[in-house]
């Protein structure tokens, strides 16, 4: 019995290690090298769309790897991570507030660094970026909150350590390849802890997490992504 537990834990740690490496290799460059490369040959609008498409590609590859490593179907994965699972009402209410505050922070940043930006304009570019970014954050939450934290739960890691580990991973792949700005790292840690906390508070349902994260990008794109191009290493 003990050996079976050890093997299971080793398998989980191997999966976590593989996915962590993939997050750094596939997603991390989107906060550093990829935007710089795209801007050398594309307009700002084209670069933002290219970056958001790569987010979708990268996260989709990682989810495909998770399915392969776990030998489960996509439906089973979505059930495992808490997609659509019942949640408490208060985490969902707080998630709306978090989403609004996060969107407001994106608006504040874009108006600080590009005050001429018309944040009220609605056009095809904005609609496209909202769609791409919203799908991207859902995939990200499936991986970094639902799957990652539940894998740690499966090997009896305490809830608070799950939240901290998820937030730390989230912050590191958002900042390491972007020059590791301390302010950006701390902000990412705080956001990661909030999202992880919503996941736990909501009875391991992804609903409050997705409400907070997707609402922010729904309201604030393309300006949230634009900051990456206008203020490198932020």
Assess whether the previous peptide bond of 183 is cis (omega < 30° from 0).
no
Token pair 């934290």 is at which residue? Answer: 149
What pLDDT is stored for residue 154 in this prediction? 95
User: Which of 218, 223, 212, 189 lies closest to 94 in space, CA to CA?
Assistant: 212
Domain that holds residue 32: 2-230
As a whole number of angstroms, the distance between CA 29 and CA 214 comes to: 22
Is the pTM higher than 0.75?
yes
What pLDDT is stored for residue 232 in this prediction? 59
What pLDDT is stored for residue 4 in this prediction? 38
User: How would you write the pLDDT of the chain (234 residues) with one tens digit per residue?
Assistant: 333 334 489 999 999 999 999 999 999 999 988 998 999 999 999 999 999 999 999 999 999 999 999 999 999 999 999 999 999 999 999 999 999 999 999 999 999 988 998 998 999 999 999 999 999 999 999 999 999 999 999 999 999 999 999 999 999 999 988 777 898 899 999 999 999 999 999 999 999 999 999 999 999 999 999 988 887 555
As a whole number of angstroms, the distance between CA 4 and CA 12 comes to: 12
As a whole number of angstroms, the distance between CA 51 and CA 232 comes to: 14
Q: Where are the beta strands (DSSP E) in the chain?
A: none
Alpha-carbon torsion (93, 163, 152, 73), positive or negative? positive
Other C-beta atoms within 10 Å of 142: how many? 24
As a whole number of angstroms, the distance between CA 199 and CA 208 comes to: 7
As a whole number of angstroms, the distance between CA 72 and CA 138 comes to: 19
What pLDDT is stored for residue 2 in this prediction? 38
What pLDDT is stored for residue 5 in this prediction? 39
Q: How many domains does the chain have?
A: 1
């Amino acid at each position: 019995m003990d050996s079976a537990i050890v093997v299971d834990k080793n398998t989980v740690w191997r999966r976590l290690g593989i996915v962590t490496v993939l997050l750094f290799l596939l997603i991390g460059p989107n906060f550093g090298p990829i935007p710089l490369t795209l801007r050398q040959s594309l307009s700002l609008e084209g670069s933002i769309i290219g970056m958001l498409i790569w987010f979708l590609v990268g996260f989709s590859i990682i989810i495909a790897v998770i399915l392969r490593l776990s030998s489960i179907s996509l439906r089973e994965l979505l059930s495992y991570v808490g997609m659509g699972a019942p949640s408490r009402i208060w985490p969902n209410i707080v998630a709306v507030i978090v989403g609004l505050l996060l969107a407001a922070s994106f608006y504040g940043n874009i108006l600080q660094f590009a005050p001429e930006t018309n944040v009220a304009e609605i056009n095809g570019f904005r609609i496209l970026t909202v769609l791409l970014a919203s799908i991207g954050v859902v995939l990200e939450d499936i991986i970094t909150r639902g799957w990652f934290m539940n894998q740690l739960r499966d090997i009896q890691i305490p809830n608070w350590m799950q939240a901290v580990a998820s937030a730390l991973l989230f912050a590191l792949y958002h900042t390491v390849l972007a020059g590791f700005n301390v302010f950006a790292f701390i902000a990412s840690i705080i956001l990661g802890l909030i999202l992880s906390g919503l996941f736990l508070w909501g009875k391991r349902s992804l609903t409050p997490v997705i409400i907070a994260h997707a609402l922010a990008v729904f309201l604030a794109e393309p300006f949230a992504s634009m900051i990456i191009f206008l203020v490198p290493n932020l």
